[in-house]
């Protein structure tokens, strides 16, 4: 047979697998020509057209610049963590600083710092990263296991193995050298999905708030779900026949919860069947000379790090992150192009979960997030521009996506997406998350209030008038239109699903009607909230200041939920009064180590007319200034005047504002669900 025919047949099979496997990922609804035009204007900023035939080459050239940039970030993060510079900048913990200033997670900064420390004894691995011989995803793994004696052997293995195969070898090597590897690694996680009504979603948000108060710390969604499950489990016996429920793991394969046995997938994917070396030779190319100037400018960010103070480290870190966001914004249109169904790959096709780690050096979740940002940029070009220029951090962009992707045409506010992007640039991540959650809830049934928050995001926290709540009550959506997704440890998923299904059986027996999964989850939330809000007459009354401030530190961006101090804005030693307007909630760190150390300055009237200055230093402006409500100060709003945006976030009264309007629905559900008590 003709060898050329064999090659054509093999390529046709790869293309067929391309279209088959890609059904599990978001499909780009835009035609190839439009994607190519966007790639020309956004990704490369050049006049020439980037044809589909060399899109993979363009993607490889942009990806090649990520190695030196990651090396620079690693050096800065290592120095920042070594000196704990974030504490000098008035951030109590690395997690708060990473989210608010860098737009990343604390784990990402820790991984970068660990890599820098490993490079001191692994120079070959450092050279492989800078020269684009290995992607960051593989370098990060090798820093955990390689030693000076076997460094070259691990580098050679990393060149030959896929990212998943390398993970298995690293896990086996660490387990053999250090014993129990499972105790150090993150537990395997699975996805749990639940459909419910908007009223149940409101109740879930309220339960998350009280779970943080009870636990005394900021909780992720999966951690809050574990608290709710444990509380419901204390009052409900599990039906053993309900355990063994199928769910989907992070890797996309289904697992039998409770047994740990994998379930055969409908389309098994054999990553080893791909010609990995051929794709590596075809796409991964050495770093082009055109990027040499950019790498030279990175050297200035790492020069003199030992002498840099906390403010200089913060400036350099944010500058490096802005460059990485610019690079990601350039990669996103090309990534969107090569994931189009019409795109013809030059090499054999790899699905996104594999190619992201192998070629781009990023996780599949980040690659999908980049695609979401790129698609949202079609409806809101300001999002794309702000993210590319570094005015909008990665964390804020991800927070905005659920709202910006809504298919809404506003006649009164056609540019509402632009207003939300501008609002996100001037508030903390803590405030933005709360505003987006509330806006999505208002959309479920409070259309006038939702219209107001679209026109002016600062009015998202405005209380809903009583007459308006009554008028909008018939419009509340009572169907299960909301979807909740969690990625939780397998054991937590097993308990949650078992409790939920046991409650569904009990509710069906009590009410003589079918009970949905949303009904069972609402019963779990009812029990948890009833337990956490139960008042004990023997206990002292709660502090009115803590209650007003929502049991959280009032300093913008702080996630503290315990160790509160009742601070007087005007000190009592300076004849400050005990009125509530002169008192606010501060955590121990911000009260003793920041405010009384002269690093934090607070003035104004609580709770809505305060000004916070973080990172105060002599002879220079503070690091950041905020008004009440986590709103950044601007020149035209330097005075602490009262306005809707300055409402204190997280107060219980504001959370109940939405819940009260659905009281008819909630009371009917509780009447039909006596088991919730």
The pLDDT tens digits of the residues spanning 505-558 come to 888 888 888 888 888 999 999 989 888 887 666 666 678 899 899 899 999 999
Token code pair at residue 415 = 């540019």
pLDDT, residue 652, reads 37
Instruction: Give yes or no for residue 624 having a pLDDT over 90.
Output: yes
Instruction: Give yes or no for residue 2 having a pLDDT over 90.
Output: no
Higher pLDDT: 209 or 289? It is 209
Confidence of residue 592 (pLDDT cuts 50, 70, 90): very high
Q: In this prediction, what percent of the chain has a pLDDT beyond 70?
A: 70
Q: What are phi and psi for residue 610, nearest 5 degrees?
A: -105, 155
How do residues 358-375 score in pLDDT, each as one tens digit? Answer: 777 788 888 888 999 999
Q: What SS3 class is residue 255? A: strand
Instruction: Give yes or no for residue 266 having a pLDDT over 80.
Output: no
Task: Give the C-alpha separation, 206 to 326, whole Å.
Answer: 37
pLDDT, residue 164, reads 84
The alpha helices in 22-54, defined as continuous H runs, are: 32-38
Higher pLDDT: 175 or 130? It is 130
pLDDT, residue 342, reads 73
Higher pLDDT: 363 or 209? It is 209
Token code pair at residue 35 = 């994607």
pLDDT, residue 284, reads 36
Q: Where are the domains of the chain?
A: 122-185, 549-650
Higher pLDDT: 345 or 48? It is 345
Closest CA to 205 of 460, 404, 454, 482: 482
pLDDT, residue 605, reads 94
pLDDT, residue 514, reads 85
Q: What average pLDDT does this structure show over 16-33?
A: 36
Indicate the helix (H) or strand (E) that contains 230. helix 221-233
pLDDT, residue 13, reads 47
Mean predicted lDDT score pLDDT of the chain: 76
Confidence of residue 411 (pLDDT cuts 50, 70, 90): low
Instruction: Give yes or no for residue 89 having a pLDDT over 50.
Output: yes
Q: pTM for this structure?
A: 0.78
Closest CA to 195 of 485, 615, 453: 485
Instruction: Give yes or no for residue 469 having a pLDDT over 50.
Output: yes
Instruction: Give yes or no for residue 286 having a pLDDT over 70.
Output: no
Higher pLDDT: 35 or 141? It is 141
How do residues 304-317 score in pLDDT, each as one tens digit? Answer: 999 999 999 999 99
Instruction: Give yes or no for residue 254 having a pLDDT over 80.
Output: no
Higher pLDDT: 83 or 491? It is 83
- The DSSP bridge partners found for residue 604 are 610
Q: What SS3 class is residue 132? A: coil
* CA dihedral for 45, 49, 52, 56, sign (positive or negative): negative
pLDDT, residue 339, reads 80
pLDDT, residue 9, reads 52
Instruction: Give yes or no for residue 618 having a pLDDT over 60.
Output: yes
Task: Give the C-alpha separation, 140 to 88, whole Å.
Answer: 29
Q: What average pLDDT does this structure show over 34-51?
A: 39
How do residues 331-357 score in pLDDT, each as one tens digit? Answer: 888 888 888 777 776 666 567 776 777
Higher pLDDT: 615 or 340? It is 615
Q: Which of 396-405, 641-650, 665-674 has the weakest average pLDDT?
A: 665-674
Q: What average pLDDT does this structure show over 136-154?
A: 92
Q: What average pLDDT does this structure show over 245-254?
A: 44
Instruction: Give yes or no for residue 141 having a pLDDT over 60.
Output: yes
pLDDT, residue 297, reads 75
Instruction: Give yes or no for residue 71 having a pLDDT over 90.
Output: yes
Q: Which of 121-125, 339-343, 383-387 has the weakest average pLDDT?
A: 339-343
Who's near 406: CB < 8 A, 6+ residues apart? 443
pLDDT, residue 240, reads 52
């Amino acid at each position: 047979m003709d060898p050329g025919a064999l090659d054509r047949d093999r390529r046709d099979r790869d293309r067929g697998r391309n279209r088959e496997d890609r059904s599990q990922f978001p499909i780009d609804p835009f035609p190839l020509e439009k994607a190519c035009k966007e790639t020309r204007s956004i990704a490369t900023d050049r006049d020439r057209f980037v044809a589909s035939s060399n899109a993979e080459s363009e993607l490889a050239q942009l990806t090649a610049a990520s190695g030196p940039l990651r090396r620079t970030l690693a050096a800065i993060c290592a120095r920042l963590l070594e000196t704990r510079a974030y504490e000098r900048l008035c951030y109590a913990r690395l997690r708060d600083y990473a989210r608010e200033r860098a737009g990343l997670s604390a784990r990402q900064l820790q991984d970068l710092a660990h890599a820098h420390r490993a490079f001191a004894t692994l120079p070959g691995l450092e050279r492989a990263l800078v020269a684009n011989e290995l992607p960051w995803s593989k370098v990060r793994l090798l820093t955990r296991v390689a030693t000076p004696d076997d460094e070259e052997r691990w580098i050679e293995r990393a060149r030959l193995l896929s990212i998943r195969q390398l993970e298995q070898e690293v896990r086996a090597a660490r387990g053999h050298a250090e014993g129990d590897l499972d105790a150090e690694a993150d537990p395997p996680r699975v996805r749990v999905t639940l459909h419910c009504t908007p009223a149940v979603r409101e109740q879930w948000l309220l339960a998350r708030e009280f779970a943080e108060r009870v636990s005394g710390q900021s909780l992720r969604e999966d951690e809050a779900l574990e608290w709710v499950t444990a509380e419901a489990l204390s009052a409900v016996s599990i039906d053993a026949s309900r355990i063994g429920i199928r769910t989907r793991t992070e890797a996309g394969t289904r697992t039998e919860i409770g047994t740990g046995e994998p379930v055969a997938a409908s389309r098994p994917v054999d990553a080893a069947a791909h010609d990995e070396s051929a794709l590596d030779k075809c796409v991964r190319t050495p770093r082009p000379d055109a990027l040499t100037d950019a790498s030279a400018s990175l050297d200035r960010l790492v020069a003199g790090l030992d002498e840099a103070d906390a403010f200089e480290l913060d400036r350099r870190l944010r500058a490096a992150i802005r460059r990485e966001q610019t690079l990601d914004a350039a990669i996103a249109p090309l990534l969107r192009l090569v994931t189009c169904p019409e795109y013809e790959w030059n090499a054999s096709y790899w699905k996104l979960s594999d190619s992201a780690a192998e070629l781009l050096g990023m996780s599949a979740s980040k690659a999908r997030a980049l695609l979401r940002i790129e698609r949202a940029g079609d409806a809101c070009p300001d999002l794309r521009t702000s993210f590319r220029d570094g005015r909008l951090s990665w964390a804020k962009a991800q927070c905005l996506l659920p709202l910006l992707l809504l298919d809404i045409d506003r006649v009164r506010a056609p540019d509402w997406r632009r207003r939300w992007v501008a609002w996100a640039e001037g508030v903390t991540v803590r405030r933005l998350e709360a505003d987006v959650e509330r806006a999505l809830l208002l959309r479920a049934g409070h259309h006038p209030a939702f219209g107001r928050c679209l026109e002016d995001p600062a009015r998202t926290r405005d209380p809903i008038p009583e007459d308006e709540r009554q008028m909008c009550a018939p419009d509340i959506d009572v169907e299960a239109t909301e979807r909740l997704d969690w990625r939780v440890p397998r054991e937590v998923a097993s308990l949650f699903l078992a409790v939920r299904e046991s409650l569904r059986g009990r509710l069906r027996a009590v009410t003589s009607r079918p009970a949905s999964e949303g009904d069972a989850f609402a019963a779990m939330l009812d029990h948890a909230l009833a337990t956490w809000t139960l008042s004990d007459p023997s206990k002292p009354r709660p502090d009115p200041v803590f209650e007003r401030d929502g049991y959280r530190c009032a300093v913008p961006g702080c996630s503290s939920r315990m160790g509160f101090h009742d601070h007087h804005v005007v000190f009592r030693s300076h004849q400050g009064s005990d009125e509530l307007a002169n008192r606010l909630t501060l955590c121990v760190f911000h009260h003793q180590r920041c405010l009384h150390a002269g690093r934090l300055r607070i003035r104004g009237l609580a709770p809505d007319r305060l000004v916070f200055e973080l990172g105060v230093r002599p002879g220079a402006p503070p690091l950041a200034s905020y008004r009440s409500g986590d709103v950044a100060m601007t020149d035209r709003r330097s005075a602490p005047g009262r306005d809707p945006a300055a409402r204190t976030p997280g107060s219980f009264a504001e959370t109940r504002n939405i819940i009260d309007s659905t009281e008819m629905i909630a009371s009917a559900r509780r009447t039909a669900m006596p088991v919730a008590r």
